[in-house]
Structure 1
Amino acid sequence: MATRPMRIDKAINIHDVRDCARRYLPRIAFDFIDGGVDGEAALARNRAAFDRWKLLPRYLVDVSDRSQTVTLFGHEYSSPFGVSPMGIAGFFRPGADLMLARAAAKFDLPYLMSSASCDSIEAAMDAAPKTTWFQIYGTRNPEITADLIRRARALDVRVLILTIDTPVMAKRERNLRNGFTRPMKMTPGVILQGLSRPAWTMRYLQSSGIPMMENWRPYAGENANAGTVADLYGTETPAPEQTWEVLKSVRKAWPGPLVVKGVMHPDDARRCRDLGADGLIVSNHGGRQLDSAPGSLDMLPLVADAVGDGMELLIDSGFRRGSDIAKALCLGAKATLFGRPAMFGVAAGGQAGAEKVFDIYRQELSLVMGMMGWTDLSAAGRESLFDLANPPGFTTPARSRAAE
């Protein structure tokens, strides 16, 4: 007997949210979000990195009141997590970028808008001016990068993110198998997938098909259509010729907090610090770039040791539980980010779906804090972790005479 699809408001964890999206989206769309590169070893490695560490609880602490607030670049947020930059969200649900922005604002969380989004940074700042950050790439035409920075400055965007881990486009095999390429061809298989997901297909057709990448529309000339703008973006990014000079120029042009995303090597982390970056996002791009790269969490403590207290560290890739967030905080991150769960939520349930994802993480983290004996996030540290590979030696005090 077939089971009825779960409604997203009934989801109790992020795996349920993913399943809701899988049942709503055609395979070509679901696989674009869910997939990695090559054999997808990096996807598995991101999750395996969390299994290495166990949380070591302390009891007999009054945890009646627990605060998740965190200060990032001088601004307080209600929880130590937010939304990673994600391109073309509007393909999965029209208006998804602004739904994510509004949901993040409602929960007082940072929303890192991608320059490859479908809605514009101007619209996002109008919807959520206090919690929206902006992510850019170095482009083949430096004038486009400079103008994106100019627009962000004019809008008083709080934080700018420069992503550096995409010098070339990786081999995303699920996309190649499904035909998710430019130009996209309506093969019989793709049409059949659409017919099997009528609710998504109807929204797609009502929104005129391929969505416009609004942040890039100004650079494609007058009367450019969505396909022309997408082709321009594909021509300008990735930019394999970019070097550290790109970071220097962005730092010179941007007066506010600057975060570099995609840092994995401790030496690169130190160089970002020395060139004036204020923060880093330790990330292997969610396992979507180099399949042989280590898990992001594996590198976090090494990067944290390399830069010391001089930078604010964030991390993404593979976060699916509140306990995952707690482990990253113990290893030196001030906050964590996630992409796929937020995209699954907004695709399957719109803004309410995104809010459901945020609520799941917040509740799970609160429970973990209670069980760990944490009343606030300052309690998170490496002493709260147990490394299965290198267990610590605990000193056992001699028994007292009374015990004997």
Structure 2
Amino acid sequence: PFGIAPTGGLGFFRPGADLMLAQAARDANVPFIMSGASTASIEDLARTAPDHGWYQLYAARDKKISEDMIRRAKDAGLSTLVLTVDVPVHSNRERNRRNGYSRPLNLPLKTKLEALLHPGWIAEYVRTGGQPLLPNWAPYASNGKSVETVAELVAAQTTAPLTWDDVKRFRDLWPRKFVLKGIMHPDDARRCAALGVDGIMVSNHGARQLDRAPSPIEVLPAINEAVGDKVTLMLDSGVRRGADIMAAFCLGAKFVFVGRWTLYGVAAGGLAGAKQALDIMRNEVDLSMGQMGVPNLSVLGADYLMWDRPEDLQRNRRP
């Protein structure tokens, strides 16, 4: 009941990590969402996991760039386009600044010393060409294809102001399954349903955009009440254990995506680590179902949860 959420810059963690996750997802028969900030291309994804790859679109200020990316995903045969709508401006990521993850890359001495303790990682990094590029954006960089010029292009283009007219335009351009990622309010969910969006991913961007944003699990019940079965309801952000997936299903989710979990696996162990991360999560879901006596996830509802107040349990009890 879960897939791999989009996480950007995977090549910084391990060269080839994007396609390792895609292969792990393919072998586990779950979807993998390639990030709009991926270090592998849309075409690479289609060759690696043609039936399991989705593409996350960060809308560009230049509409022609967005339209061409949609065309490439369509021509590659990908089944689902995921439009991220929760990055209207760049967020204040203090952890990134402390770690030197900036433009240009300026790693502190402690990070460089840490890297020296892992000569195997350094050798692989050098063998694969060093600092990774963002190949999905490289064709649109007018003044060369260096890492820096592509990074500048992405930074300039990916704070595009989105409107509901843009959502409709993307819906019209994309002929297959269309998902909006970053919906956190019932009114927005209703607008999605009215525009013919196939799925909603309730997400706060891994809590990296707005530090006062609620967690998706908190707003999920209200969104579920607003749209019901009109769209496929999915959840992303904050999922660390199989029991988190069970709780999301109790509150109305039909599918859950995990990001950091599989990122830890692929960073530590490559393809084998990615597969192990998926196996651990799947085993935790199976164990939770067994402990709860649940034959399948479709029977889960709010009455399987403990509530702070007795009236909450009564209000959410199934008839």
TM-score bracket relative to the smaller structure: over 0.9
Instruction: Give yes or no for the alignment of 1:127 onto 2:48.
Output: yes
1:255 aligns with 2:175: yes
Report if aligned partners of 1:278, 1:312 keep a CA contact under 8 Å in 2: yes
- Of 85, 91, 108, the match for 1:164: 85
Residue 192 of structure 2 corresponds to 272
Give the letter for the 1:315 counterpart.
L
Q: Give yes or no for the alignment of 1:84 onto 2:5.
A: yes
CA distance in 2 between partners of 1:186 and 1:354 (Å): 26
Matches within 5 A, 1:294-373: 294-373=214-293
Question: How far apart, in 2, do the equivalents of 1:295 and 1:222 lie?
Answer: 41
Instruction: Give the conservation status (yes or no) of the 8 Å contact 1:175–1:181.
Output: yes
Counterpart of 2:83, as a letter, is L
Counterpart in the other structure of 1:213: 134
- 2:144 paired with 1:204: no
Identity of aligned residues (%): 48
How far the C-alpha of 1:363 sits from its partner, in A, is 0.6
| Structure 1: distance between partners of 2:133 and 2:233 | 33
Q: Return the alpha-carbon distance in structure 1 between the equivalents of residues 48 and 22 of structure 2.
A: 7
Matched, 1:116 2:49: no
CA contact (8 A) 2:99 2:107 kept: no
- Uncovered stretches (5+) of structure 1, i.e. residues with no partner: 1-79, 395-404
CA distance in 1, matches of 2:216, 2:11: 27
For the structure 1 residues 387 and 201, does the alpha-carbon distance in structure 2 shift closer, same or farther, using more than 3 Å as the test?
same
- Find runs of 4+ consecutive structure 1 residues off by over 3 angstroms: 186-190, 196-199, 389-394
* Residues 143 and 149 in structure 2, CA contact (< 8 A), matched pair in contact too: no
After TM superposition, list the pairs within 5 Å mapping 1:373-384 onto structure 2. Answer: 373-384=293-304
**8 Å contact from structure 1 (residues 283, 296) kept in 2:** yes
> Judging changes above 3 Å, is the alpha-carbon distance between structure 1 residues 190 and 369 closer, same or farther for their aligned structure 2 residues?
closer
Displacement of 1:221 in angstroms is 4.1
Stretch moving more, 357-366 or 375-384? 375-384
Task: Decide which moves more: 189-198 or 381-390.
Answer: 189-198
Measure how far apart 1:204 and its partner are: 2.4
Q: Which amino acid aligns with 1:267?
A: D
218-227 or 374-383: bigger deviation: 218-227
> What is the CA-CA distance between 1:145 and the residue it aligns to?
0.5
Structure 2 unmatched ranges of 5 or more: none
CA–CA separation in structure 2 for the residues paired with 1:247 and 1:85: 20
Counterpart secondary structure, 1:214: coil
Q: 1:138 deviation in Å?
A: 1.3
Cα pair 1:210 1:227 within 8 Å, conserved: no
For 2:149, the equivalent position in structure 1 comes to: 228
**CA RMSD, 1 decimal:** 1.6
SS at the partner of 2:228? helix
CA distance in 2, matches of 1:311, 1:393: 26
- C-alpha deviations, 1:13-49, integer Å up to 9, x for none? xxxxxxxxxxxxxxxxxxxxxxxxxxxxxxxxxxxxx
Mapped to 1, the partners of 2:166 and 2:131 lie a distance apart of 31
In the aligned structure 2, how far is the partner of 1:292 from the partner of 1:392?
A: 27
Q: 1:160, 1:103 → 2: CA distance?
A: 20
- 1:27-176 aligned within 5 A: 80-176=1-97
Q: Which amino acid in 2 is paired with 1:266?
A: P
Moved more, 173-182 or 219-228: 219-228
Amino acid at match of 1:178: N
Correspondence 1:188 to 2:109: yes
Post-superposition shift, 1:187?
A: 4.5
Q: Deviations over 1:114-168 (max 9, x none)?
A: 1210111111111111111111011111111101110111112111100000011
Provide the secondary structure at the position in 2 that maps to 1:215: coil
- Equivalence for 1:397: none
- Counterpart residue type for residue 228 of structure 1: T
Quote the Cα distance in structure 1 between the aligned partners of 2:60 and 2:314: 51
Equivalenced residue count is 314
